[in-house]
Amino acid sequence: MLTIEEVATRLKVPVETVDRWIRQGKIPMQRNRGRYTIRPAMLERWANDHKLEIGNPHPDPAEQSTGEQAFDGILPAMQRGGIYYDISCKDRESVLRAAVEVIPGIPASDKDRVLKSLIEREELASTGIGNGIALPHPRSNPGISLAMPQITTCFLNPDVDFQAVDARPVSTVMVLLSNSTKQHLAMLSKLSYFLRDASFRRCLQGKTDQAGIFNHIEAMESEG
């Protein structure tokens, strides 16, 4: 049986998204001894019905011998993606469009493809995880060339309704991009873990300057 955390990993979505799907009755997970679980075969059928990509829990050893680099941490990913302030938009789609425009490291010819993939993922379910934070990311590899994963952080002014899990408007958007499923899952898992820390959330909610944010993350990563 798969737990909520394992389902989130397999579907490449935050745990908060799976939790919301359960509350909304969108995913057939059953409560067993105080925990929600689902059989792997049932999850695969459900994912196929909803046209969702599902990760392989047991990667082919041949795939693991490709020499792919391990995910190098949230701090370098955010440094590669950059931090941008006072992004002014009126709705969720215009936020995604503005975020894609400032994302570094991808050619202009790929930006329409990235935007389309982000919108498709958002139409499936909001990436607003609560506390004024959203984590837009593609459902699958959008076909862009990135040496390493990156997180582009955009602070909105004013806040925008993202249909978030807690219905709170979003002030911080962190766009996750990677051309590797393995690295994407590692990045999403680590960032979700960091966002459980109230001091880190306050750092983002206060739209701290770039140096302050990077120093905070460096301290968190040094703690393990």
Task: Give pLDDT tens digits for 130-177.
Answer: 999 999 998 777 777 787 899 999 999 999 999 998 999 999 999 999
Please identify which residue in the block is written with the tokens 């300057």: 209
Considering the domain architecture, whether residues 155 and 108 belong to the same structural domain is answered as yes
d(CA 215, CA 136): 24
Considering the domain architecture, whether residues 102 and 200 belong to the same structural domain is answered as yes
pTM of the model: 0.74
Considering the domain architecture, whether residues 88 and 33 belong to the same structural domain is answered as no
Count the domains in the chain. Answer: 2
Considering the domain architecture, whether residues 16 and 107 belong to the same structural domain is answered as no
**Which candidate, 152, 157, 187, 193, places its Cα nearest to that of 173?**
152
Tell me what pLDDT residue 66 has.
Answer: 47
Type of residue found at 11:
L
Residue 206, in any domain of the structure: yes
Residue 18, in any domain of the structure: yes
Active site residue 216: no
d(CA 68, CA 51): 27
Active-site entry in 50, 58, 137, 216: 137
Helix spans in the chain (H): 4-11, 15-24, 40-49, 61-64, 74-81, 92-102, 108-124, 181-194, 198-205, 210-222
Proportion of the chain above pLDDT 70, given as a percent: 93
Residue 144, in any domain of the structure: yes
The CATH number covering residue 44 comes to 1.10.1660
Q: Which domain holds residue 14?
A: 2-57
Angle at 171 (CA atoms; ends 151, 195), nearest 5 degrees: 55
Using the predicted structure, report yes or no on whether residue 111 has a pLDDT greater than 80.
Answer: yes
pLDDT digits (tens, 9 = 90+) for 40-69: 888 988 888 887 877 665 544 444 444 567
